[in-house]
Chains A and B, each alone.
Chain A
Amino acid sequence: MSTEVMAMAGDVFLAAGKPGGVQLPEIETSTRRDRLWDVIVWDDPINLMSYVVYVLQKVFGFSEQLATRHMMEVHQEGRSVLTSCELEKAEMFVSRLHRHGLQATIEKQAG
């Protein structure tokens, strides 16, 4: 890739993150959404907070801070979206959460 092309790609990348920046074509956005599924963990009165943090770190490789944030969201809001990914990956994550006794479901990402 030439320096010029790299610079253009960088401009597009930077502009896309700003208000009024480059818009992705509508069709691409919707295709991407169709492929994404949310992995959701639900509140449970039995699972210990420390155990939930342990499992989230083990299954997703989250930092302790991020795992704790999700655990607290579950505790306070009743649920937390842990990740959004392709269906096959989402099923793998949910299966691993079930193995550890967490209640988790998969939902097609809204939108």
Chain B
Amino acid sequence: MNPVVRQEDGSLLLSLPHAEGLVLCSMPQRIEALLSSEGFNHRVVERLFPIAYEDSSREAEYRKLLGDDLRRSKRESMETFKRTLEDLEISQEGIQILIAEEAVGQWLAFLNDLRLYLGIELDITENDWSASIDPDEPLEEEFALLHLLTWLQQCILDAIGYDQDRFASELQEDDPDDGGES
């Protein structure tokens, strides 16, 4: 059952067990700590703020023109994510979070940035990374977190009509060994 349910007004109601909900609540602080730390992985910056041009002079011009917009957009997505979490409801059953319709896009973008950050930290380079879990090996914390965020992002996409299985089945008609990432 999808823990994300679309409401009549277009908002999404997210119901999570306590543990997963609390992990989610810790994400903005985690990112802020990461951004302010000295040992920051610059490959993460390169991935979250990718180049638009191979040519360095054009790229410099582009950054001057649109670089601030991109930084502002990333910051706004994180702030929206944080604000939504301020109104969460905790009950015995778990944690409920209501995502307003206009905040859904920023939630998806922030979750995606978190996943990109984890993907770089874990040095993921292959599309089938999610199929490479060895049940006999303990999962690294970051790898488990990546799976949690991937699952959550997909649940939100499912709730708004972007069912991963539908796209995966189209690909598998061409390549039966294919995974689910693009």
Q: Do A and B come from one complex?
A: yes
Contacts of B171 in A (CB 8 A): 49, 72, 75-76
Say whether A53 faces chain B, with CB atoms less than 8 Å apart.
Answer: yes
Partner of A71, one of B50, B125, B150, B182: B182
- Number of B interface residues at 8 Å Cβ cutoff, please give it: 48
Say whether A13 faces chain B, with CB atoms less than 8 Å apart.
Answer: no
* Contact segment of B8-16, B95-103, B161-169: B161-169
Closest chain A residue to B65 by CB distance? Answer: A91
Closest chain B residue to A70 by CB distance? Answer: B182
A 73-110 binary contact with B (CB < 8 Å = 1; else 0)? 01110000000000000010011001111011111000
Roughly how many angstroms separate A101 CA and B162 CA in the complex, as a whole number? 17
Say whether B1 faces chain A, with CB atoms less than 8 Å apart.
Answer: no
Partner of B108, one of A54, A68, A75, A104: A54
Q: Which of B56-70 contact A (CB under 8 A)?
A: 62, 65-66, 69-70
Contact present for B127 and A100 (CB under 8 Å): no
Roughly how many angstroms separate A52 CA and B171 CA in the complex, as a whole number? 14
Contacts of A94 in B (CB 8 A): 52
Say whether A50 faces chain B, with CB atoms less than 8 Å apart.
Answer: yes
Roughly how many angstroms separate A88 CA and B174 CA in the complex, as a whole number? 37
Roughly how many angstroms separate A106 CA and B66 CA in the complex, as a whole number? 14
Contacts of B84 in A (CB 8 A): none
Q: Which of under 10, 10 to 19, 20 to 34, or 35 or more describes the interface residues of A?
A: 20 to 34
Contact present for A45 and B52 (CB under 8 Å): no
Q: A94-B52, A95-B66, A95-B69 are in contact. Are A47 and B182 (CB under 8 A)?
A: yes
B 65-90 binary contact with A (CB < 8 Å = 1; else 0)? 11001100110000000000000000
Q: A53-B162, A105-B51 are in contact. Are A46 and B116 (CB under 8 A)?
A: yes
Say whether A35 faces chain B, with CB atoms less than 8 Å apart.
Answer: no
Partner of B66, one of A68, A71, A91: A91
Closest chain B residue to A54 by CB distance? Answer: B162
Contacts of B119 in A (CB 8 A): 45-46
B62 CB to closest chain A CB (Å) equals 6
Contacts of B50 in A (CB 8 A): 98, 103-105
Which residues of A pack against B, CB within 8 Å? 43-54, 58, 68, 71-72, 74-76, 91, 94-95, 98-101, 103-107
Given contacts A43-B127, A95-B70, A100-B109, 19 further A-B pairs with CB under 8 A are A44-B181, A45-B119, A45-B125, A45-B127, A45-B181, A47-B116, A48-B182, A50-B163, A54-B108, A58-B105, A72-B171, A72-B174, A75-B127, A76-B175, A95-B66, A98-B49, A99-B73, A100-B112, A104-B50
